[in-house]
Structure 1
């Protein structure tokens, strides 16, 4: 990501930036309800400027049932009502820029919340909806493979009709199928939505896990590479 001009090396701003991480729920409560919010974050901009930070990285502020601290996203194009509104988010971004501070968002493309409209459609059995996720029929009464959740226990949960869905994290975080063109198109559109609102970049959650090994093979042991991580296909996604 470096380029040469007139024999000199140009450095991207993010290569040397001081980035301040904000978990908005606990950072600053602006309305007195005991939960951090955008109003509180805006009020702390003078403090952040005095610190000399170059950017803030905001952990997920999207609508979420909070099965995993907001990393289970129900809507990628909105703000959780506990934190504020899109209008307030836009104002914060403008004010941060005026203070010389860039804004980075967490994006969570490996999985959605089980409350996301796509997954709810999959549970209802709507045509094509399950193809956006990783549903499998399983092996009799056993999960489709031996993968374990990062949070412990099997990485598969069985639905009422006997099928299983993959969740590398909590059962409330079903993994998306990044081989499906609708998934790729959706996240490109989500990025464009926030760039249009003025954000400067993203931190990508589970960046190494979007592509799984073909056939979802058994791992076979904790000392072997995990088939869900570090697959070459992730590079095509990020080039896109």
Structure 2
């Protein structure tokens, strides 16, 4: 993994497993020069950190997850909430400060399954729902593949015009997936295209893959995009705009 200045990662998640592997501690640290609003969603297990929170520049927050937990994190940008937590975000919106579900695409995702098959932790960075910020995961202290996974490229700058999402300042704030942009089976891997054999990479997914070879670029990009690690002592996950 390159250093901070070379890949401009500004928001980190550090993950530390307990000695008895009974829990995993996530530490989210915001090194951005602006506030971000992490969102969390559990696929299996309880909701973490109330589903979402505000994280000021330089601030950090810890929370834990039990073995067997699975879910995702993402970074919301351009949020405005009132004192009761009602409001919206330019990217990754999820119904309020404390998320009521997943982030609205397009959004970059960090996905985890803790102590899954064979006692391994599974993790990936997914652009299947599109892209809003740079995002990376690096485990440390474990055994196995334990590779960096992520997208350190600015896909908003490289986004094709037909996939761009414009913000209130007329700037590109996110890049849609071709499935979200066009809705057809070829890009969504549905219907007649619902298997790996019938849904190969498209020109759009190749743009994502060339820029971010360690991230999921479309639904059947498993072989080069899912990573495992056993006995993880710590992971870092970072995002930036």
Relative to the length of structure 2, the TM-score reads 0.28
Q: Relative CO higher for 1 or 2, CA cutoff 8 Å, sep ≥ 6?
A: 2
Q: Pick the structure with more helix per residue.
A: 1
Relative to the length of structure 1, the TM-score reads 0.29
Q: Pick the structure with more strand per residue.
A: 2
